[in-house]
Structure 1
Amino acid sequence: METEHLPGCYRHPDRETGVRCTRCERPICPDCMVDASVGFQCPECVRTGSGTGHGPAANQPRTVVGGTVAGDPHLVTKVLVGINVAFFVAVHAVGGEGFGNPVLRELGLIGGYYSNTDLQGVVDGQWYRLLTSMFLHEEIWHIGFNMLSLWWLGGPLEQALGRARYLTLYVLSGLAGSALVYLLEPPFSLTIGASGAIFGLFGATAVLMRRLRYDMRPVIALLAINLIMTFGWGGISWQAHIGGLVAGAVMGAGMVYAPREHRALVQWGTCGLVLAGVLAAVLLRTAALT
């Protein structure tokens, strides 16, 4: 049986792609796609003004999902890595190893309150824990693994989605993971880590690669390994991983499959639905604990 191979991008021959410039018909990969009124154009056609728009705005470079092409396509990823590392250094400078660290206990995700202490949680109105817990890590291997995953997945995804969509995807995936932890874990559980957001990037990357007809085997293999670790090792919050994965896949689908004529409405509407689901889960659990 013969296997049909897709052509390589004219600027990146090692990247197979099924998308061609609507003007010159050269094959183009996601890094080279510029959104046009119909289909996508290559950077050369946009630069020479051969597009079919009206005025400069018509040739404004866009990502594959309609985001603005940035000068530094990995800036948000770099900032996110920096924030996580800064939190890690600051938290451990305070002193105290493990979950006994006072900052981890104050900013980590705790659902309820302890009857014999003054430590409180989300149920007491400390909703900020849903967000701050996403930037906390206990051990060097914990933050190291998450930051490597963030860099490997986040850079290409940010370049494909654009900064605003990418940052929204990251934050909402992390919040979805926190919300599922809050909903299903015992009320006094302390949970930290960026894994929910990272798994959201996994979900969105898989959807994007499927949409562009890329070879899915690498991302599927990596995701399978991570899921085996999630359910095979003790002390790992599977709720955060699954919550982030599902949210990332849903938002990714909304972003890459949105019809061009209603792109913004579908993309941001999908993100709004995920946020509504997060709020519903938090409110439901809070009502059950009070």
Structure 2
Amino acid sequence: MAQPHGQPPPQGLARCYRHPDRETGIRCTRCERPICPACMIAAPVGYQCPSCVAGGGPGGGPPARAARPRTLAGGVVAADPRMVTGILLGLNLAVFLAVLVVGDRLVTDLGMLGRSLDTRTYAIVGVAEGEWYRMLTSAFLHQQPWHLAFNMLGLWFLGPPLEAALGRVRFLALYLLSALAGSALSYVLAEPNVLSLGASGAIFGLFGATAVLMRRSRQDMRPILVLLAVNLVITFVWPDIAWQAHIGGLVAGGVIALAMVNAPRRGRVAVQAGTCAAVALAIVIACAVRTAELLG
């Protein structure tokens, strides 16, 4: 609820004037009203709110000619900040329904597997045998409804704020690279004949990115840190969880988000793209070394 005029503000961080449920330490450089990451538009100095960019200030006026709406990370401000999140969620649901229709054969063919014998064909299969697609397809596979539900719940709550703050392209890059990093660490550290699947690596990447974004916006980090700690405890206590995927995704998501939200305005795209390329290169090198080890 918005603060009534004339009453003293509540203690703690201010709340975004467009999203009263979100705390923030950032203010528009023109009208000085508090704005959350979803409302931040990069300006020559600091950040401006959508009202000032569209109407020249809170009182209206000619639009700011040089200020094109941009997200905190420099992406284009989208009318629907949940579009990519919704597409990713839909893909996960569609693949889950396909598994229900086709059966476990789809899981065996698309799940994350380093190198093992396929008992149906007696052929050696896995990433080491050139089936690199498993590193990505496994991130959209789920067998159990509860597994799907937990991951999609995390995607739905963490995805939209990140998508709004980063922009669609940057958010998608963060999600996919986190998923690949999780698969890569599983490939390097897990037993090669153990099949793993699920979007958990990507979701942990969103956890890492959310922590970075909240710190950048000077928000209270205790909720996300507690939630992350609980999930890490479950990761290492619950049986049959691919902890490697969780850690790989978490680290990649945090590193990419750091570059996304802290890159200097001059050369920002180069820093962001370079960081994503460096993460991708690290994934490729780690997988190449592991493949040589398994085939050697």
**What's 1:40 paired with?**
47
Matching of residue 130 in structure 1 with residue 135 in structure 2 = yes
Q: State the TM-score, normalized to the length of structure 1.
A: 0.92
**What's 1:109 paired with?**
112
Q: Which moved more, 1:7-16 or 1:255-264?
A: 7-16
Q: State the TM-score, normalized to the length of structure 2.
A: 0.91
**What's 2:5 paired with?**
none
Give the Cα separation in 1 of the matches to 2:165 and 2:211.
Answer: 13
**1:271 is matched by which residue type in structure 2?**
C
What are the residue-to-residue correspondences of 1:217-228 with 2, within 5 Å?
A: 217-228=222-233
Match of 1:29 among 32, 36, 41: 36
**What's 2:203 paired with?**
198
Matching of residue 69 in structure 1 with residue 72 in structure 2 = no
**2:292 is matched by which residue type in structure 1?**
A
SS at match of 1:103: helix
Matching of residue 5 in structure 1 with residue 8 in structure 2 = no
Match of 1:158 among 159, 163, 166: 163
**2:181 is matched by which residue type in structure 1?**
A
Give the Cα separation in 2 of the matches to 1:58 and 1:119.
Answer: 59
Cα deviations by residue, 1:100-145 (Å, 9 ceiling, x for unpaired): x111000001111328722511111010000100000010000011
Displacement of 1:25 after TM fit? 1.5
Give the Cα separation in 2 of the matches to 1:278 and 1:61.
Answer: 34
State the identity as a percent.
59
8 Å CA contact 2:13–2:219 kept in 1: the answer is no
Give the Cα separation in 1 of the matches to 2:136 and 2:203.
Answer: 14
**What's 1:230 paired with?**
235
Displacement of 1:6 after TM fit? 2.4
Instruction: List gaps (5 residues or longer) in structure 1.
Output: 96-100
**1:84 is matched by which residue type in structure 2?**
N
**What's 1:98 paired with?**
none
Displacement of 1:49 after TM fit? 3.6
Instruction: List gaps (5 residues or longer) in structure 2.
Output: 1-9
**What's 2:257 paired with?**
252
**2:201 is matched by which residue type in structure 1?**
G
- Aligned pair count? 280
Give the Cα separation in 2 of the matches to 1:121 and 1:21.
Answer: 52
Q: What's the C-alpha RMSD, in Å, of the aligned pairs?
A: 1.8
Give the Cα separation in 1 of the matches to 2:22 and 2:172.
Answer: 26
**What's 2:248 paired with?**
243
Displacement of 1:8 after TM fit? 2.2
**2:34 is matched by which residue type in structure 1?**
P
**2:36 is matched by which residue type in structure 1?**
C
**1:24 is matched by which residue type in structure 2?**
C
**What's 2:276 paired with?**
271
Displacement of 1:230 after TM fit? 0.3
8 Å CA contact 1:113–1:123 kept in 2: the answer is no
Q: Which moved more, 1:113-122 or 1:273-282?
A: 113-122
Give the Cα separation in 1 of the matches to 2:28 and 2:86.
Answer: 30
Matching of residue 81 in structure 1 with residue 89 in structure 2 = yes
